[in-house]
Amino acid sequence: MRFTFSLILLLGVGTVFAQDFVPPGRNKIAWHQSPNYTPGRSMAVDTVVLHHTASDNLAGTVKWFEMRESRVSAHFTVGKDGSIIQHLSTYDTAWHAGRSLDFFGRTSVNRFSVGIEIVNIGDGVDPYPVEQTLAVEHLISVMIRRFPIKQITSHEHIAVPPGRKPDPKGYPWPTLERFGLPMYFGRQDG
């Protein structure tokens, strides 16, 4: 009996995994809800935080953020092909920055930021294809229309203690200069 139940459970799980993740394609958004967030906002949103996934697999990141056990999320993940996945509402607080301190001396950056994960293994060599950087720009321009964004920052810059996070390593920051916003990257103590 127990064996039968386990088998059904396995088959059930198998069915879930068998539904292959299909990336929505360049500049298109698909929603895969993460359970890892705090409902609402305790501060007004004015910051965009960029990350790298430390993996070259968009599907794997989606699965990771869908798992309650991971205790992490971001609002969006951008694939190498420019596919955009939204994991939760930007009016809710994602769990992407961890212990953090921004240029303005504010802690817990999750409270007032939108988190964007960018698929890249993060070795400083893996390229960010133009389809991907354009999708990131597209997403940031939407955020600028939605919120009074006053800075774009790297996770590396806000991570506490300094050096805790290196991401997004090797990102082409000049592609974001056209927004005319202050950009903070590199280590705060560096």
Q: Based on the shown chain and the rule CB under 5 A, indicate whether residue 51 belongs to the binding site for Zn ion.
A: yes
Which residue is listed with tokens 């993940």?
A: 77
Q: Based on the shown chain and the rule CB under 5 A, indicate whether residue 87 belongs to the binding site for Zn ion.
A: no
Around Cβ 30, how many Cβ atoms within 10 Å? 14
Q: Based on the shown chain and the rule CB under 5 A, indicate whether residue 156 belongs to the binding site for Zn ion.
A: no
Least distance from Zn ion to the Cβ atom of residue 154, Å? 8
Exactly one of 155, 158, 169, 185 binds Zn ion (CB under 5 A); that residue is 155
Exactly one of 36, 112, 128, 167 binds Zn ion (CB under 5 A); that residue is 167
Cα end-to-end distance, the chain, whole Å: 61
Least distance from Zn ion to the Cβ atom of residue 117, Å? 7
DSSP structure string for 70-127: G----SEEE-TTS-EEE-S-TTSEES-S-SBB-TTS-B-GGGGEEEEEE-B--SS-S-
Least distance from Zn ion to the Cβ atom of residue 122, Å? 9
Which residues contact Zn ion (rule: CB under 5 A)?
A: 51, 155, 167
